[in-house]
Amino acid sequence: MTNIGEFNPDQHEDAKSFEILPAGWYAMQTINAEVRKNSKAEGQHLWLELEMLEIPQQVQFKGRCAWDRLNMWNPKEQTVKIANSRLKQICKSIGLGTISDSDALLGKQIAVKLKVRPADGKYEAQNEIIEYDSFTARFQSGGVSPAANSSAAASASRHAQPAKKARGAGVPGYPRSSSDHVTEASGRPLMHVLPHWPASGCSQLASRDPTCVIHMIRALEQSANHRTPTRTGACHLPDR
């Protein structure tokens, strides 16, 4: 048995979550910046740790962090060029000019764009910083985290119901409803056009053969005396 002294869990911070964050822009600030040796001991990199800011757009991600490594001291010229371009982007985003100490980056608010790198068999899926931008431009000028927007859009799309097309939509003169009070193109109730037909007969016509109803209405309106139509004289209703 080994004595570890007195440990009070309430005196220590909670462990940070490493669950994957959705791809998108996040408001963050740099909380650590230090120079570290590369894993192959062939150079050094500027290691950055950034923490989520507590703002309404991302309150659910409070305390989450992201990390970046800028290989500014590396035998490969192209690697150094990429790292310098990334540091330039950071400085422009937080309003800094020439810097000589990494501490100048600490505590600065900045917009960070994350992507999700899929698992490849060797490593698990993880977030990766791919771009920096001004915090003010992204979050204080009416901007909202695209990660939140995409989630809301996806949710709305899942719950949206397709609009139902009305029976006979697009057919000139077709009644707008198959109820007892259906109206034809002139706006008059169908019951007024066919006064001697029972209500059930009008609904049956509209639901079974709209074209027949349209032709019957037009024929009646053109008739001088508006004689009462018969069920078999004007058109044929096919058997169901």
Please state, for a pLDDT cut of 90, what percent of the chain lies above it.
44
Average pLDDT over residues 192-204: 46
Q: How confident is the model at residue 137 (pLDDT cuts 50, 70, 90)?
A: very high
In the prediction, which pLDDT does 194 show?
44
Q: Are strands 109-117 and 24-37 parallel, antiparallel or unpaired?
A: antiparallel
The per-residue pLDDT for range 126-135, each reduced to its tens digit, is 999 999 999 9
Average pLDDT over residues 180-198: 44
In the prediction, which pLDDT does 84 show?
97
More confident residue, 240 or 10: 10
For residue 220, is pLDDT > 50?
Answer: yes
Q: In whole angstroms, what is the distance from residue 219 CA to residue 215 CA? A: 6
Q: Give the chain's mean pLDDT.
A: 74
Q: In whole angstroms, what is the distance from residue 37 CA to residue 195 CA? A: 94
The three-class DSSP label of residue 69 is: strand
Average pLDDT over residues 204-224: 57
For residue 234, is pLDDT > 80?
Answer: no
Angle (deg, nearest 10), helices 199-208 and 210-222: 120
Q: How far is CA 189 from the centre of its chain?
A: 45
The per-residue pLDDT for range 82-123, each reduced to its tens digit, is 999 999 999 999 999 999 999 999 999 999 999 999 988 888
Q: Backbone phi, then psi, for 46, in 5-degree steps?
A: -90, 115
Domains and CATH numbers, the chain: 17-142 (2.40.50), 172-240 (no CATH)
Highest mean pLDDT range out of 7-11, 143-147, 188-192?
A: 7-11
Tally of residues, the chain = 240
Q: In whole angstroms, what is the distance from residue 31 CA to residue 24 CA? A: 20
More confident residue, 46 or 158: 46
Average pLDDT over residues 190-205: 46
- The widest CA-to-CA distance across the chain, in whole angstroms, is 112
